[in-house]
Amino acid sequence: MSELQEPLLTSALRNRTKSVHGKLDEHLMGLGLFSDKEKYKQFLTIQYYIHLDADHLYSNSQLAAMIPNLKLRNRFNKLKEDMADLNVPTPAPIHTPVITNTSSAIGTLYVVEGSKLGAKYLLHSVGTIGLSDQYGARHLGADDEGRGVSWRSFQAAIDTAPIDISVAVHAAEQAFNRVFTHVHNVTG
């Protein structure tokens, strides 16, 4: 009789959040946020709230012990530079969740870090409206080590960490749903 093998965390996260992730991607693309600079400013505001929600996780010492280059992965300052490039005012403050449970934090970071993979395509899209990873879309650029290498090192780190998969999946689902809330609040 063989032992049941626990699924890798990233596989569980990908499989169990596929539906909400797909709906979010479809909804965002349907808003045309990359068709002109005015609509892109709404995207930056949405991104501001997403990265504000996760900002505290990038300075968490427990997470930093698990995830290589955690502090360097944070795109919040680059996002603020993008907002300054396009004269997007700092959005009104909101209540941000403070996540202290490691498994929940990993689930949330999965959503934020995973968005870097799709950012490659978004960066290409915003090139048509005069933006780049040097102006207005820095936060969509690759990490210094490259998108693939950065993602694989993140994935390897969380797949070997002592994480409660069900808690991490629940947190990832909550993070995706919170993004929907930000989108609705910004775009109406």
How many alpha carbons lie under 13 Å from residue 154 in its C-beta half-sphere?
28
39-45 average pLDDT score: 98
Instruction: Looking at 1-146, list the stretches that DSSP marks H as alpha helix, in order from N- to C-terminal side.
Output: 9-30, 37-54, 61-66, 70-73, 76-85, 102-127
pLDDT of residue 7: 63
> What is the overall mean pLDDT for the chain?
93
What is the CB neighbour count within 10 angstroms for residue 160?
11
Is it the case that residue 3 has pLDDT exceeding 50?
A: no
**pLDDT above 60 for 51:** yes
- Share of residues in the chain with pLDDT > 70 (%): 96
**Residue bearing the bigger pLDDT, 98 or 109:** 109
Tell how far CA 69 is from the center of its chain.
Answer: 16
What local confidence, expressed as pLDDT, does residue 46 receive? 97
135: three-class secondary structure by DSSP? strand
Count of alpha carbons within 13 angstroms of residue 100, beta-carbon side: 0
- Domains of the chain by start residue, with CATH: 22-187 (1.20.910.10)
Burial label for 3, CB within 10 Å (0-12, 13-18, 19+), is exposed
| Reported pTM | 0.93
Q: Which runs of E-coded beta strand occur in 142-182?
A: none
Point out which residues pair with 135 in neighbouring strands: 132
| pLDDT > 60? residue 5 | no
143 has pLDDT over 70 = yes
The answer to whether residue 4 scores a pLDDT higher than 50 is no
Angle at 181 between CA 180 and CA 185, to 5 degrees: 120
Question: Could you report the per-residue pLDDT of 75-101, keeping only the tens digit for each?
Answer: 999 999 999 999 999 999 888 888 999
